[in-house]
Structure 1
Amino acid sequence: MRSIMRKAALTGVVIIGAGLLLPPSAASASVPGPEACPPDIWYKVVKLSTGYEAIGDTAGKRNGSSTTSRLTYEMSTTTSKATSWKSELGGSASWGVATVEAKIGREVTDSTDKGQKVTNWMDVPGGKWGYTTPKIERTTFVVQKWQDTATCGARFLGNAGKLYAITAYPFFSECVASSACSPKP
């Protein structure tokens, strides 16, 4: 009797163990369970580059004093600039600006006008020259379109577009030297 029970128990263990070695069926592997992610679409903003563009002439003064003085420059802008959008998968310029502002948390200026008065001041050591140029800071962003997959991964759908944004206005480039110099950046 014991030998029959041992054989039956051993047979049960072998059958259960063999069942654990079987691969899951193809149908159960391809059907997502209730924990699957919905196919939501979302956007990611990536900064590509930052540069500076002049919007006025360079102004310079010499500090004739022997001590450091604050030199003030009041200038008028000579060009107008605008934020622009290059659509690839869609969206308007205003949508691109709103998306970048929401994702990056940085304000974007739509445009600047010619003939605007701008003021800058610099502390310049005695006997030195101080030069300044009014500029804008332009940052290029790409807005990427993504979709969640059923397996909770992410799939890149393409670029919605590029935003060539004015991210600082006015921005002043400066230099201080014993003779003429070119303000940087």
Structure 2
Amino acid sequence: DPNTTASDADVAAQTQLATAIRAEQDSVGRIINRLEWVRRQLQDLAGQVRGDSTIARDSAARRIGRLADSLDRKARAIEGALFDVHLTGAREDAFRNPTQLYERLAALQSDVAENSSDFAPTTQQVAVNDLLRQRIADASGKFADFMTKDLPGFAAELRGASLKDVIAAYPGLAPRATGP
């Protein structure tokens, strides 16, 4: 804007902070997506273990189901710090639960990049970003522990349980042959 009173340095500082916030949003989004994928697998496995009456009687299967549920709760707690996991899509959602890290980053991004009219970030905007960056580091550490310690431990338990029939069909229940 040729009529702006902002200097080139102000615009550069604004762009630099906006770009950093966008990278932070991307990082949080990747963690959320990965946790959603892991949670889906844990829920599917727990449902399969409980849903088959033959397998459900096995003590190892029951233990695996409980472990999967426990890991799902832990993943949900990590995810819950990143965004509101109670969202339903209703307009009233914004009033039901506090915003979490992703939503706060989005609000800060809007304030810095869209509503600042080419001015340098304020001291408060920089301070808020520093605080959010620390929260991202905390959440990233919990996520890393979950992925590198909890999940491999669960995978070892699963291998030790030898539940090969969780997905495979039982004799007499195999699908009919198709084709000529």
- The structure whose residues are more often helix, as a share, is 2
Considering only CA atoms, is the larger Rg found in Structure 1 or Structure 2? 1
TM-score (norm: length of structure 2): 0.26
TM-score (norm: length of structure 1): 0.26
Report which structure shows greater RCO (CA 8 Å, sep ≥6).
2
